[in-house]
């Protein structure tokens, strides 16, 4: 039998996963899996449990929870010499990375996705001595995902992030940053910056033309606006990113490695995969190409480059 280690965050999203837990275990068991279930006990518990699964000869790790739980599982897997495939049952408030993999929203549909799927390699971001799956970001609104109380997220879903963001819009502060990538150096005041490998950010911002295994990140940097009118232009450009971006304030490029140095007296606060990522004066982010594999089924193959590495940028370096 295939040995499965199932990590479950019982309070993720609207805490609905507990209602499906029996059906999940039954469905996997019927399809030849020997299932060991571990409900998470703390924010770091998923990382320790994922590492345990790798080191104790399990064949597959399944994470039932939100992107934060998945990111914690990733920490444990990346610190093991034996990396096993990951199945993801999205149960959080936004489930951004699940959108990138085209995983069905329904719990039991996601279970079938794993059962009928096959492993596909995905890139993993290295953030100093930690890892992230789909985003590392600093600046405006990045604290919303981890400071919004779980009870409010459960009730309001995406609206919780929007409302919490609106409360902060008049209190946006910039950071003076030196940013180095691809032999380029930028030094400016930025209110926001993110390094991503995803189709969606916070369930709102959609990214285009990305690949999950090409070894390349998409980077967006937002310069400090002079007034609220400029800020509104920036927000409109981001929410309509399929249109031409506002190059006066927004820089967009691709790279496999980038270094951020905060030139202010206080460090920049970062988020990784929607969780608090720490405060840092310096941060080096690099791409570990095809470092882990996820179970996919009938996924949009254009999101996987397979063997071709694309290395280009589309920014105006002014």
One domain, residues 137 and 111: no
- The pLDDT score that the predictor gives to residue 256 is 97
Catalytically active residues are 275
Contact criterion met (CB below 8 Å) for 135 and 201 = yes
Mean pLDDT score, 195-213: 66
Q: For residues 118 and 213, what is the distance between their CA atoms, to the nearest angstrom?
A: 15
**Domain total for the chain?**
2
One domain, residues 179 and 282: yes
Which three-class secondary structure state does DSSP give residue 51? helix
| Domain extent at residue 178 | 132-288
Helix H or strand E segment including 213? none
Does this model's pTM top 0.75? yes
One domain, residues 57 and 144: no
Q: Which residues contact 50 (CB under 8 A, 6 or more apart)?
A: 5, 7, 61, 63, 72, 73, 74, 75, 76, 77
One domain, residues 110 and 163: no
One domain, residues 140 and 40: no
One domain, residues 221 and 195: yes
Q: Which percentage of the chain shows pLDDT scores above 90?
A: 51
Using pLDDT thresholds of 50, 70 and 90, give the confidence band for residue 33: very high
Q: What is the pLDDT of residues 119-152, one digit of tens each?
A: 999 999 999 999 999 889 898 755 444 444 444 4
Mean pLDDT score, 89-93: 85
Structural domain includes residue 273: yes
pLDDT at residue 262 is higher than 70: yes
One domain, residues 82 and 107: yes
Q: CA-CA distances (angstroms) from residue 29 to 4, 6, 24, 192, 275?
A: 10, 12, 9, 46, 32
Q: Packing angle between helix 17-30 and helix 107-115, nearest 10 degrees? A: 30
pLDDT at residue 257 is higher than 80: yes
């Amino acid at each position: 039998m295939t040995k499965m280690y199932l990590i479950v965050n019982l309070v993720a999203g609207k805490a609905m996963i507990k209602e499906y837990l029996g059906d999940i275990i039954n469905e996997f068991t019927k399809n030849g899996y020997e299932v060991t279930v571990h409900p998470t006990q703390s924010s770091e518990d998923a990382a320790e449990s994922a590492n345990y699964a790798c080191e104790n000869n399990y064949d597959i790790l399944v994470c039932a929870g939100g992107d934060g739980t998945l990111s914690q599982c990733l920490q444990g897997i990346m610190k093991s010499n034996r990396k096993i495939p990951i199945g993801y049952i999205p149960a959080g408030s936004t489930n951004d990375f699940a959108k990138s993999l085209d995983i069905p929203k329904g719990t039991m549909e996601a279970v079938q996705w794993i059962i009928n799927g096959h492993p596909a390699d995905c890139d993993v971001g290295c953030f100093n001595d930690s890892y992230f799956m789909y985003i590392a970001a600093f600046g405006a609104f990045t604290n919303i995902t981890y400071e919004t109380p779980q009870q409010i997220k459960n009730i309001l879903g995406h609206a919780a992030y929007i409302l919490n963001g609106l409360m902060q819009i008049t209190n946006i502060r910039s950071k003076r940053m030196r940013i180095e990538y691809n032999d380029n150096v930028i030094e400016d005041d930025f209110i926001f910056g993110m390094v991503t490998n995803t189709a969606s950010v916070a369930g709102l911002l959609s990214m285009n033309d990305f690949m999950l295994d090409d070894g390349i990140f998409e980077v967006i940097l937002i310069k400090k606006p002079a007034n609220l009118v400029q800020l509104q232009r920036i927000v409109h450009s981001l929410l309509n990113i399929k249109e031409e971006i506002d190059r006066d304030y927004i820089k967009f490029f691709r790279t496999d490695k980038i270094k951020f140095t905060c030139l202010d007296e206080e460090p920049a606060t970062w988020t990784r995969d929607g969780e608090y990522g720490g405060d840092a004066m310096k941060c080096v982010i690099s791409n570990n190409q095809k470092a882990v594999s996820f179970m996919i089924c009938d996924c949009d193959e254009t999101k996987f480059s397979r063997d071709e590495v694309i290395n280009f940028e589309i920014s105006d370096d002014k």
